[in-house]
Structure 1
Amino acid sequence: MTTLTQTDPQPQTGTGQAAARIVSRPLALVFLAEFCALSSFYLLVSVTPVYAATAGSGGAGLVTGVLLAGTVVAELASAVVMRRFAHRSVLVAGALLLGVPALLLHPGSALGVIVAVSLVRGIGFGLSTVVAGALTAMLLPPERRGEGLGLYGVVATAPGIVALPLGVWLAGHFGGSVVILATAVTALVPLAGLPWLPGGEDRGAREAAADAQPTPLLESIRRSGQIRLALIFASTTVAAGIVVSFLPLAAGVSGGLAAAGLLAQSLTATVSRWWAGRFGDRHGHARLLAPSLLLSALALGAMLWPTSAVAVLVGMSLFGVGFGIVQNATFALMIERMPSAEAGTASALWNLAFDAGYGAGPAAFGLVVGHTGYPAAFIMTGAVMLAAVPAAGSRAGRTTRRA
């Protein structure tokens, strides 16, 4: 039975002491599962709205909303589910719910079928991402957890850069059926490594933990440190959702410039997320929060000059740097504050903050931008992050004093 420990031989440092190794075979399989889950999600996320638009009025927005609703439902329930069932079982269930329902789709599917499939796939996606984050945290050596979470961030970011445009390209050149098949196969690939997947923990220990603490997610919300971290993170995901949704629509920003800006934001966020893990392991993750929030907020000031390619590219690059740092620092701090058995709760809360902010931001921005215009609305978005800086700074100060 696979255990949640590092068992691979450890390399030796120059002092002769064993250095903690980040990537073991179980962790590599978890990384593969996360990469496949996100790739499956992104391959189809831009194709189903096209199917839905032809099946019924308003269907395009409905399927995306239902997909995210299923994701949020799964994230709310995942902490309790992982206390009742082995992590391996939850990971398998997520892969099946994400992959198998996609095979029910075809270019002529009725709107009801598309909506139902999207809901089930959202649940599978939510379970997959939360349990992968929890397993990653549990399998990493504590002294290198931040760096390991940074690598996890690289794995989680890559599908958005590759699979999202790939799904649209495949649908345009080979038809939607090819995308559907690729989506299902990609989601189910991790099942080939089932015998080596981690998560075979003792059933009795899970049941005892569940009886002692039946609502771990609600209890974590009551802990002021955890909910503060979630709100700090959500302030940046609000901005990230707005940038992705509205940069291509902003007056004065050409289609090519918007694409280049979003690519720059994705790449810098990926690199900075890994760097933040290395820095945080050595100097503390809390001290990264306030500077990265400030950087992200000020970067949106570049949108005062939307017709300037330099301003947009520099602004989006700096926003990506700040966003990547906040992603890694908040996740690492959430994991640190929880017992190892409750890593699933921290992962669920972090993912919930991500999706809630990512969805709420564009909805609110859309109501405001018609009255203010794009430059002012982007500045207001930066102000939301600035409002979170004092909370992030006070947390860093308390952490430093305790040290």
Structure 2
Amino acid sequence: MTTACEFPTVQVTTAPRLVTGQFGRLLVMVFGSGLSMYLLTSVVPLYLAANGSGGIGAGLSTGAMMLAAVGTELLVPRLLARWGYQVVLGLGLILLGAPSLLLLVTASLPVVLTICVVRGAGLAIMVVGAVALVADVTPDRRRGEAFGIYGLAVGAPAVIGLPLGVYLTNLVGFGALFVLAAASSLLVLGMLAGMPKATSEEEQHVKVLGGLRGSGLMMPTFVFAAVTVAAGISVTFLPLAVAEDKHSLVATALLMQAITAPAARWLAGRYADRVGPAKLLAPALILAAAGAGSLVLIGSTAAIVVGSTLFGLGFGAAQNLTLTMMYDRVPKSRYGQVSALWNLAYDGGWGVGAIVFGAVVAGTGYSVAFGLTAAIVALAIVPAVKASVAARSSARPAQR
């Protein structure tokens, strides 16, 4: 027999735990591998320049690493399908870290470029594999938050490594930095213990370059590539363009760029959810172009610091906005393709920009070459404005 009044039972559900042991170890692994990369991103060009291979050699070092990453990124899904996360990510950490030790014994340009190619392959494995692993080790209901935390783990090494590598060059020498870069990647191999061994069925069948025509992915891909061209150039050639006794200035500029980029990436994502990413992309590119253009005044301390800050803001915002636009334009079945294309634009633009800039600067000087870089970013504003106009038109209520 029941009472006159019965109250329904209220079930309180708690959100599933996000930072599990697996996810925590993944974040440590991502941080270590990222630090290995960023410590040497600007240092290897300085190392080559100090040994008589500056200019084109410096550009080739960054370009070789990033273009190797592009080629390898197309293969990583197959590698994961065949050997699983533990083996493939372990290989990535070794390829990224161990070759740095060879720089202790040689500054030969062909050898250094080979080392950069091997490290680029390791970087590609870590970028593609780690993102896929985030989805596997975090709960579906909190995946967006998980990728936000993952973004911080990826961005922190840039904030630390880019300026620290340049700053420490004169304090501890190249050799100590090469050992530190190797150690930061190799010491996190133990974090792979307990990780899933196999990838999901969906990830095993991603076709990176399939069905692009009419997909709406081409415009944001190429727009983002234009910005990454300037990003690769700034971290590679800014230390070479500034007088050797002003490395602390370069470290400050790279620090400002590294700090503002993730902050702008977060803010752009927050406001894009309200107004749409297309409406914010053109302003982001204007900031990036202005920052790149400021380096034309390479003799001015203010221009270097302010320019790097503006570029960091524009670059970080463009990262989020282009990726969001690409995800908004495809069904869930093509999410893997979007991630791969975006990473290809990132690494490809970074690598091509460094190679071409190295060839151009030899004949034009740094001011003109930086001006041409800004022009490339500025050209990308045109399709971004068209996308903004189209977004506003589609959002406008129909007239009666």
TM-score by length of 2: 0.75
Q: Structure 2 matches for 1:105-144, cutoff 5 A?
A: 106-107=104-105, 116-136=114-134
Q: Report whether the alignment pairs 1:244 with 2:227.
A: no
- Structure with higher Rg: it is 2
Q: 1:81 to 1:336 in 2, by over 3 A?
A: farther
- Tell me which of 8, 14, 29 is aligned to 1:33: 29
Instruction: Report the counterpart of residue 163 of structure 1 in structure 2.
Output: 161
Instruction: Report the counterpart of residue 263 of structure 1 in structure 2.
Output: 255
Name whichever of 153-162 and 319-328 sits farther off.
153-162
Q: Report whether the alignment pairs 1:98 with 2:73.
A: no
Q: 1:288 to 1:85 in 2, by over 3 A?
A: farther
Unaligned runs of 5+ in 1: 1-15
Q: 1:350 to 1:98 in 2, by over 3 A?
A: same
CA shift digits 1:169-220 (9 cap, x unpaired)? 7776667665454333322333323244356445xx369x53xx6xx11216
Name whichever of 38-47 and 120-129 sits farther off.
38-47
Name whichever of 309-318 and 251-260 sits farther off.
251-260
Unaligned runs of 5+ in 2: 1-11
- Tell me which of 265, 269, 277 is aligned to 1:273: 265
- Tell me which of 161, 169, 183 is aligned to 1:185: 183
CA shift digits 1:261-306 (9 cap, x unpaired)? 3322222112112222333345443333222112222344544655
Distance 2:103 2:72 in 1: 22
Determine if contact 1:253/1:307 at 8 Å carries over to the other structure.
no
Q: 1:34 to 1:233 in 2, by over 3 A?
A: same
- Partner amino acid, structure 2, of 1:97: L
Name whichever of 169-178 and 316-325 sits farther off.
169-178
- Tell me which of 364, 374, 386 is aligned to 1:382: 374
Determine if contact 2:208/2:341 at 8 Å carries over to the other structure.
yes
- Partner amino acid, structure 1, of 2:73: E
Instruction: Report the counterpart of residue 229 of structure 1 in structure 2.
Output: 220
Distance 2:40 2:218 in 1: 32
CA shift digits 1:354-382 (9 cap, x unpaired)? 12212222444455557766555544433
Determine if contact 1:241/1:361 at 8 Å carries over to the other structure.
yes
Displacement of 1:237 after TM fit?
A: 1.0
- Tell me which of 320, 323, 331 is aligned to 1:331: 323
Displacement of 1:36 after TM fit?
A: 1.2
Q: Structure 2 matches for 1:2-401, cutoff 5 A?
A: 23-45=19-41, 61=58, 64-102=62-100, 106-107=104-105, 116-136=114-134, 149-164=147-162, 166=164, 178-198=176-196, 200-201=198-199, 205=201, 210=205, 216-219=207-210, 221-222=212-213, 224-248=215-239, 255=246, 256-303=248-295, 305-337=297-329, 343-366=335-358, 368=360, 375=367, 377-396=369-388, 401=394
CA shift digits 1:37-82 (9 cap, x unpaired)? 1212234556666877899978965655543343222123224434
**What is the RMSD of the two structures over their aligned residues, measured on CA atoms?**
4.2
Determine if contact 2:163/2:250 at 8 Å carries over to the other structure.
no
TM-score by length of 1: 0.74
Displacement of 1:324 after TM fit?
A: 0.5
- SS where residue 261 of structure 2 aligns? helix
Distance 2:90 2:285 in 1: 36
Q: 1:149 to 1:334 in 2, by over 3 A?
A: farther
Q: 1:87 to 1:259 in 2, by over 3 A?
A: same
Instruction: Report the counterpart of residue 6 of structure 2 in structure 1.
Output: none
Identity percentage over the alignment? 39
- SS where residue 218 of structure 1 aligns? coil
- SS where residue 105 of structure 2 aligns? coil
